[in-house]
Amino acid sequence: MATSSLKFSSHEKYEIRKKNPDPKTSVLLVIDVQNYFSSMAKPILPKLLSTIHLCRRASIPVIFTRHCHKSPPDDGGMLAEWWNNDLIIDGTVDSRLMPEIEQLAGKDEVIEKNTYSAFANTRLQERLMEMGVTEVIVAGVMTNLCCETTARESFVRGFRVFFSTDATATSELELHEATLKNLAYGFAYLVDCQRLKEALLQIK
C-alpha cells in the first residue's frame, strides 16, 4: 500500500447532486487514519479534525476504523497477494491510530477490519442499524481504496452516502479525483468542511 504526502481539496466540478446530511440519522466514519498512512494523512489532518469536531457539535456519532491483520496467512486474503504481504500487522506501531486521532477515538467506537470494506467481517452493519443510522459521512484514507469501497458498499446496503473531498486522501491526485468523479456519478453526495459547517449551522 504505497503512501504519499499529496494534499487534496474540494472538487465541486464533479458534483451532480447536492444534499446535506441529517444529524439525527447520520454517522461519521473515519477510515484507517493510522501511523502506516501518516504521510498521506498528515496534510488533511486539520480538515479531518475539523470534520470530526463539526459532527460532534451536531451530535453526529463518530465511528473509527482500524485496518490490521492478526495472522496474514489466515486473514490476509487477496490483500496479501495484491500487496506482496506488505500488510499492517496488529500490535505494531504502524497499526495504531495516529496520535491526534487516537486521543479522540478514546471516546468513540473503533472497529477493526482486515480488508478494504469496513463492513466485511465486522459488526458495522449491525451497529448502524442499532443506532438508527440511515446516512453515513465518509472521511479518512485511502480515498480510492478503503474509503471508496466502504462508500460504495454503504450505498448498496441502503445508506445515503456523503463523501468528504477535503478530509480524505490517497497516494496520487489522479486517484483521488477519479474516486470523487465516480462516487458523485452514482454513489455519494460530495461534501467538504465548509459545506458541512454551513449545513450544520443552518440546522441549529
CATH number of residue 38's parent domain: 3.40.50.850
Average pLDDT of the segment spanning 87-95:
97
Is 198 within the bounds of a domain?
yes
> Do the domain assignments include residue 14?
no
pLDDT band for 81, please (50, 70, 90 cuts).
very high
Within 10 angstroms of residue 186's Cβ, the number of other Cβ atoms is 9
Residue 136 falls inside a structural domain:
yes
How many domains is the chain partitioned into structurally?
1
> Is residue 194 domain-resident?
yes
Does residue 11 lie within any of the structural domains?
no
CA-CA distance, 148 to 139, in Å (whole number)?
A: 10
Helix axes 173-186, 148-156, angle to 10 degrees: 10
- CB 64 within 8 Å of CB 111: yes
Pick 9 or 63 by higher pLDDT: 63
**148-166 residues labelled b (16+ CB within 10 A) or e (exposed):** bbbbbbbbeeebbbbbbbb
- Determine the structural domain holding residue 127 and report its residue range: 23-203
Distance CA 88, CA 110 (A): 16
- Residue percentage of the chain with pLDDT more than 70: 94
Region 128-154: what's the mean pLDDT? 98
Dig out the grid coordinates for 64 from the structure. 473509527
Within a domain: 69: yes
At 9, the pLDDT band (50, 70, 90 cuts) reads: very low
CA atoms of 201 and 96, how far apart (whole Å): 33
